[in-house]
């Protein structure tokens, strides 16, 4: 779609930032399916900036936190699912510039596309201004999530928790196998099987192998919990 001046002004208000050069924002909203220039390079830059901004905030907010705790907190904030949620809150889907194929397949509501757009806009804000203004905007987007953070409530990811659970009991580590991989490189879908000795295999799916493995591990953890309760009752 072609962004009108009225669209840009509305989006500036939503983002909380007025672009000096609107072409930066237009590029950030352009998916590669729509041609060049697109947002892939800005996405790369925005990813690095986001990690820095959130990492710096956490470092200052939790002076007694250990590296592992800070890493897990940051990962929970910069992961694709969180960025897609922010994109929906900012109503970015309606402003994305997509090729016809992506439009027909509903690319404007795909989590990976939305998350990429958020990172690209962060990169665009940085090159349009500076780190100070970029940090201010990003922290405003994350304000609600950052205010509710707690070191005590953050959990390790499912794969790590499953591995540590099995290691603590001197049991074999889980075996992950990719059952299915479909779609083009920019829109892949994975199905992964997680096999834990003594349990029924679990299957997880996601937009990357890692996400599919995490989903399968989460299901395995739930089975382990039920299995443990059953034996305690017995």
| Predicted pLDDT of residue 230 | 37
Among the listed residues 47, 102, 116, 207, the single catalytic one is 47
Q: Is residue 129 scored above 70 in pLDDT?
A: yes
Is 182 considered catalytic here?
no
| Predicted pLDDT of residue 231 | 45
Of residues 161 and 201, the one with the higher pLDDT is: 201
pLDDT band at 177 (very low <50, low <70, confident <90, very high): very high
| Predicted pLDDT of residue 232 | 44
Q: Is residue 7 scored above 90 in pLDDT?
A: no
Per-residue pLDDT tens digits for 97-112: 988 877 777 777 788 8
Among the listed residues 119, 128, 191, 213, the single catalytic one is 119
Residues near 7 by beta carbon (within 8 Å), at least 6 away in sequence: 95
- Percent of the chain at pLDDT > 70 equals 93
| Burial class of residue 23 (count of CB atoms within 10 Å of its CB; 0-12, 13-18, 19+) | exposed
In total, the chain counts a number of residues equal to 234
What's the whole-model pTM score?
0.71
Is 218 considered catalytic here?
no
List of long-range contacts for 171-175, beta carbons under 8 Å, 24+ apart: 171/196, 171/197, 171/198, 172/197, 174/217, 174/220
């Amino acid at each position: 779609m072609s962004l009108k001046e009225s669209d840009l002004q509305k989006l500036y208000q939503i983002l909380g930032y007025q672009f000096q050069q609107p072409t930066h924002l237009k590029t950030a909203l352009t998916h590669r399916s729509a041609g060049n220039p697109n947002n892939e390079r800005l996405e790369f830059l925005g990813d690095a900036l986001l990690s820095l901004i959130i990492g710096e905030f956490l470092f200052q907010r939790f002076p007694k936190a250990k590296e592992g705790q800070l890493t897990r907190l940051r990962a929970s904030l910069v992961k694709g699912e969180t960025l897609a949620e922010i994109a929906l809150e900012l109503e970015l889907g309606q402003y994305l510039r997509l090729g016809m194929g992506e439009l027909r397949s509903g690319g404007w509501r795909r989590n990976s596309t939305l998350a990429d757009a958020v990172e690209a806009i962060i990169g665009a804000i940085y090159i349009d201004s500076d780190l100070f203004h970029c940090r201010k905007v990003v922290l405003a987007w994350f304000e609600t999530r950052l205010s509710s953070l707690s070191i005590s409530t953050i959990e390790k990811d499912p794969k790590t928790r499953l591995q540590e659970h099995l290691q603590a009991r001197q049991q074999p580590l889980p075996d992950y196998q990719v059952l299915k991989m479909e779609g083009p490189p920019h829109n892949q879908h994975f199905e992964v099987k997680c096999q834990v000795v003594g349990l029924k295999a679990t299957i997880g799916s996601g937009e990357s192998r890692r996400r599919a493995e995490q989903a399968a591990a989460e299901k395995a953890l739930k089975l382990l919990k039920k299995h443990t309760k059953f034996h305690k009752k017995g």
